[in-house]
Structure 1
């Protein structure tokens, strides 16, 4: 238990065991009280909170910023550069991680330590979100809550996608061409090709990715930007802050020679909401659709 010495922790666990044996505590509650979960991936942390299982979290990674309470939990660092010592120091009974977690050698070390490790596929589709909710629900023994959450998400998703289609038809069935720039460190800027969460979100929003010649992310070059001729520039809010605001984005090489640059069409959304494919996916799509519609109307 966080903040308890080993003797105090043993006494605490003994108290739970005594209550269980006495029939004063349901077995599921006792199991939940003894679970110590580390979540590596902001979307997985959000699912834990959505299932009301946050009391079982003892650690998260740096992408776990929502809800705000998650950022106050012990942090194991960036998902791709974990250390076995940092994770195991929290004495987890289970680790849930996105497939982006790593490096692989660290994951092997954690598994070799005997701690159950569940690596969940990213699958940048709504169906992937449903699968992650169901899997986390199984891990924390909240299948009923997971089923309710899935039903709620499906209803909201149907409503939002119908709204997006209506907006698309209003624009003549053709969405804007969008260039997504990932820039979460000074002096670094990457553009999204296909098979990324950004590309998936643009497609859901009825927009087209301005970059289609490669998969994943590659460094931004003026030539590629000019050739892409995007109608809108999309960033995360964190990326926009790193670049120093909209004027600095518009001043990036090549941007001024595009329809987006000439019309000053730059929009930004919070990173994990936009790219995480967590429980906020329906609201993220609605926000993206609204932002692109507003930008094109300006």
Structure 2
């Protein structure tokens, strides 16, 4: 798992390196919030509570406006210097930041740190988180609206999923290919829950949310659909000819039936106010031309 974490940190940092030169356009803010949690960032923006957020971690990629803010680095590989350079009056984090010595240093400096209630990988948990953040930022009405829309979208997706006769077998390839070994999501991931809600199932079982997979095992899993996250898909230019060159992929039903689709990585790794819409998007992709 440590190797997967290091690979993720490296890829995210490389892909986001230009964000380190983002200008601080809120230098006059007296309240200066550094938000180090991608789901908190999205919810804050959705609530309209982003005015005092002056910096984020590199995993905060939605909405697009978040990527225009200065970044303090990857949330599990932070440096105190990068955070302090933004002169925060408050750090919002989700108890998933590191390394430990940096967290200890920040606490010794007595910079206020705010963590919201335990984040749950369920719609009920997201609903609670949105309401808690709405109350904290005095955006209660906006929180109610977000949760109502989330519930409507989820009800629609779950009702639609019941109409399909079989569950589509899906393989999610995260970041494309690295040294002939793929990084894929498993049945223990947040993405697996979303695919299930959409009426599908992931083709890879494991005890951890992500694992490395050889080309041979990719071929053996033989998914009906492959969802290729944006980094890998864009790197290949979305070309089926290029995708065919990926070892193990060309022999799958997904490739033969031209059922390989692009999906944004951030839409699959955490739950938030757009989860219902994202499940509907997944549903549309994995059930194209399927009989109900």
Name the TM tier (shorter chain): 0.7 to 0.9
- Map 1:213-232; keep pairs closer than 5 Å: 213-232=206-225
2:259 is the counterpart of 1:259: no
Tell me the SS of whatever aligns to 1:277.
Answer: coil
- Map 1:113-192; keep pairs closer than 5 Å: 113-119=109-115, 121-165=118-162, 169=163, 171-172=164-165, 174-183=166-175, 187=179, 189-192=182-185
Task: Describe the superposition over 1:169-204 as per-residue Cα deviations: whole angstroms up to 9, x where unpaired.
Answer: 2x31x1211111111675463012232122121111
Deviation, 1:209, is 0.9
> Would you tell me which structure has more helix in proportion to its own residues?
1
Distance 1:60 1:213 in 2: 31
Q: CA-atom RMSD, angstroms? A: 2.6
Distance 1:68 1:4 in 2: 17
Q: Which has the larger radius of gyration?
A: 1
Structure 2 partner of 1:290: 284
Distance 2:84 2:132 in 1: 22
Q: TM-score, normalised by structure 2?
A: 0.80
Task: Describe the superposition over 1:29-86 as per-residue Cα deviations: whole angstroms up to 9, x where unpaired.
Answer: xxxx743211123322121111111111111122223322222111112222111221
CA spacing shift, 1:203–1:98, aligned 2, 3 Å: farther
Q: TM-score, normalised by structure 1?
A: 0.78
Aligned length: 265
Tell me the SS of whatever aligns to 1:81.
Answer: coil
Aligned partners of 1:97 and 1:118 also within 8 Å: yes
Quick one: which of 47, 54, 65 aligns to 1:51?
47
Deviation, 1:213, is 3.5
- Map 1:57-72; keep pairs closer than 5 Å: 57-72=53-68
Structure 2 partner of 1:205: 198
Distance 2:245 2:177 in 1: 17
Distance 1:142 1:80 in 2: 29
Tell me the SS of whatever aligns to 1:180.
Answer: strand
CA spacing shift, 1:37–1:184, aligned 2, 3 Å: farther
Segments of structure 2 that go 5 or more residues without pairing to the other structure are 1-23
Segments of structure 1 that go 5 or more residues without pairing to the other structure are 10-32
Deviation, 1:292, is 0.9
Task: Describe the superposition over 1:265-289 as per-residue Cα deviations: whole angstroms up to 9, x where unpaired.
Answer: 2112122223332221111111110
Higher relative contact order (CA 8 A, sep 6+): 2
Deviation, 1:257, is 2.7
